[in-house]
């Protein structure tokens, strides 16, 4: 008699557990097989089978995958060879490159100056006045040439003329002037372009 009552009580408890497992919101991911297994355990009333059902239920709960990582896009902060440089920096870099070309070309002209070299450097300077990317700069340079014609008497005179032209820009930008009368200093600064040294140098 006691065993019958205990069995009935255990069966009722298992029935209640089965109802909770089926109706609970977090039990939604259970598979159909797991629900059938729980119902079979409740119907059989075996304690060992109930433990097995709990294990099945535990193993059948779907675990949601972790959310995918999100990577925020960040603007690069490193400036390499003018990349991401400001307009002021780009203009300054262009100016340095332009003056380096002009001064080095003048300083490496042959002595005595040949007609071909003279015509070539004059064409270069006039091309700068017509095609330099900065509109304001090329207009200033063209105006300077109009007021101060290129001195093509010799290599030294052309080199000095480029220095005087550069000083006109420096004065407009409130920068110090370079001593244009010292030809040796100009040669020391611009006369060696490095083209006669290294792997790419021409061999005699």
Q: Each residue of 50-85: pLDDT tens digit?
A: 555 555 455 555 556 666 554 444 444 445 555 667
**What CA–CA distance (Å, rounded) separates 143 from 128?**
12
Burial class (CB in 10 A: 0-12, 13-18, 19+), 116: exposed
Q: Do 97 and 146 fall within a single domain?
A: yes
Q: What pLDDT is stored for residue 65 in this prediction? A: 66
Contact call for residues 124 and 161 (beta carbons, < 8 A): no
Q: Of 24 and 139, which is predicted with more confidence?
A: 139
Q: The whole model's pTM is what? A: 0.57
In a domain, 100, yes or no: yes
Q: Do 151 and 115 fall within a single domain?
A: yes
**What CA–CA distance (Å, rounded) separates 155 from 133?**
27
| Residue matched to tokens 């064409």 | 123
Q: What is the DSSP letter of 182?
A: -
Percent of the chain exceeding pLDDT 70 equals: 55
Total count of domains within the chain: 2
Q: Do 37 and 130 fall within a single domain?
A: no
**Given a cut of 90, is residue 159 above it in pLDDT?**
yes
Q: Of 56 and 198, which is predicted with more confidence?
A: 198
Domain that holds residue 54: 9-60
Q: What pLDDT is stored for residue 193 in this prediction? A: 87
Q: Do 37 and 113 fall within a single domain?
A: no
**What CA–CA distance (Å, rounded) separates 167 from 175?**
8
Q: What pLDDT is stored for residue 54 in this prediction? A: 56
Q: What pLDDT is stored for residue 29 in this prediction? A: 46
**What CA–CA distance (Å, rounded) separates 126 from 138?**
10
Q: Do 180 and 92 fall within a single domain?
A: yes
Q: What pLDDT is stored for residue 63 in this prediction? A: 57
Q: Do 55 and 93 fall within a single domain?
A: no
Q: Do 111 and 54 fall within a single domain?
A: no
Q: Do 56 and 91 fall within a single domain?
A: no
Q: What pLDDT is stored for residue 137 in this prediction? A: 96
**Given a cut of 90, is residue 25 above it in pLDDT?**
no
Helix ranges (H only) for the chain are: 2-23, 32-44, 47-60, 87-107, 115-131, 135-147, 155-172, 183-190
Measured CA to CA in angstroms, residue 112 lies from 38, 49, 108, 169, 179 at distances of 107, 110, 11, 29, 23
């Amino acid at each position: 008699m006691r065993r019958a009552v205990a069995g009935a009580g255990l069966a009722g408890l298992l029935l209640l557990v089965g109802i909770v497992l089926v109706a609970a919101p977090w039990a939604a991911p259970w598979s159909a097989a797991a629900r059938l297994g729980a119902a079979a355990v409740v119907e059989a009333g075996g304690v060992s089978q109930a433990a097995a059902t709990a294990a099945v239920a535990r193993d059948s709960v779907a675990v949601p995958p972790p959310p995918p990582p999100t990577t925020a896009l960040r603007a690069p902060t490193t400036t390499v060879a003018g990349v991401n440089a400001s307009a002021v920096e780009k203009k300054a870099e262009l100016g340095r490159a332009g003056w380096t070309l002009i001064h080095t070309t003048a300083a490496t002209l042959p002595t005595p100056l040949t007609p071909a070299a003279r015509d070539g450097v004059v064409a270069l300077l006039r091309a700068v006045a017509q095609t330099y990317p900065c509109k304001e700069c090329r207009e200033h340079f063209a105006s300077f040439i109009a007021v101060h014609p290129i001195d093509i008497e010799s290599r030294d005179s052309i080199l000095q003329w480029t220095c005087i032209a550069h000083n006109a820009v420096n004065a407009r930008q409130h920068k110090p002037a370079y001593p244009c009368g010292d030809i040796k200093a100009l040669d020391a600064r611009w006369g060696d372009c490095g083209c006669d040294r290294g792997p790419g140098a021409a061999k005699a």
